[in-house]
Structure 1
Amino acid sequence: MNSHVVPSLDRFIQRFMQQHETNRQPMQVEWEENWPSPCQQGQVDANGKIAWQPVKREDVADFSASEAALELPFHPDFKAFFARYWSANLPASAERGRLELLQVWNPDDFARLQQNLIGHVLMKRRLRHPETLFFAVTDDDDYILSLENQSGQVMLERVGVRPREILAQDLASFLDGLSP
């Protein structure tokens, strides 16, 4: 997949990993026996946590079933963003505040992402809003960050309301402006 999002996402993940290393913050999540991931590292500790780090996917993320179900080709930047890594969600800071970049933990999580996207796009159609594809959540549960599918612009979107605020002209520029 050839997208300018990939180098921007790689740079953000490098900054994220460096910050955790510099601050000696362990990257851990609650271990769930029935929810394994390629990004898990080592063994479960005494507190029931397991170390992880983003891992580049070896397989190709396939959105074709979702695109066919919606009769909507997804923006290439969106597909490249979710096709690059297996990872836990990634906390970040933007000019407007804290957010969490959504990522996929395992193949089942990828399937769940696609189901949620289908529901989101169908809701946007029902409301007669432009079709958007979400990729991040904010500290305020009423707001998400999404990619306007036709233009590729990054939007701050209040759930159920037509997105009005453009945060970046494209996803690569948005990712380049984030701090871990």
Structure 2
Amino acid sequence: MGLKPRLETAFERLLFQSRWLMAPFYVGLVLALAMLLVVFCKELIYYLPKVFSFDAGLTSNDAILAVLTLVDLSLAGNLLLIVMFSGYENFVSKLDLDGETDRPPWMGTVDFSGLKMKLIASIVAISGIQLLKTFMNIGKTGYELNTQEALWGVIIHLTFVASGVLLALMDWLTSKTDKH
């Protein structure tokens, strides 16, 4: 039973090359990152003049909410970068960046398990910021608290936290078992 049949070899090559069908997804994520940058700049341009306005300037709570919004967008951008780089390197092709001095140290070392953990950690952080924004608006004039929406926000956030803990536990258990 020496050589594989030609049909099987051709199919395996086709299957292996099909990984390049993921490349347009990563291009789409680059465009999504650009979209986040535009939204970030719009938020920054919106809040900057208010900082220097004495008439209707930002209160400390407004400033914190503005900063949380910018941090939220930054975390989403970081999440996109992690998914783009790790996904591309894990599933499509290694990035050939020889001589690149500012390559982040985690690039090329984040496997699917690490990607999963970074993803859930980012989602938990983003969810927590959204929840904090809701709580900081309580008692603010013109803001009507929707208690059912706030309750669901807490439930969803706790679900993300529990999911993260369970994923970490599964990874820990998997690392303790013998490799097959």
Q: Shared fold (TM-score greater than 0.5)?
A: no
Structure 1 length-normalised TM: 0.22
Structure 2 length-normalised TM: 0.22
Decide which structure has the larger Cα Rg and report it: 2
Q: Name the one with the larger helix percent.
A: 2
Q: Name the one with the larger strand percent.
A: 1
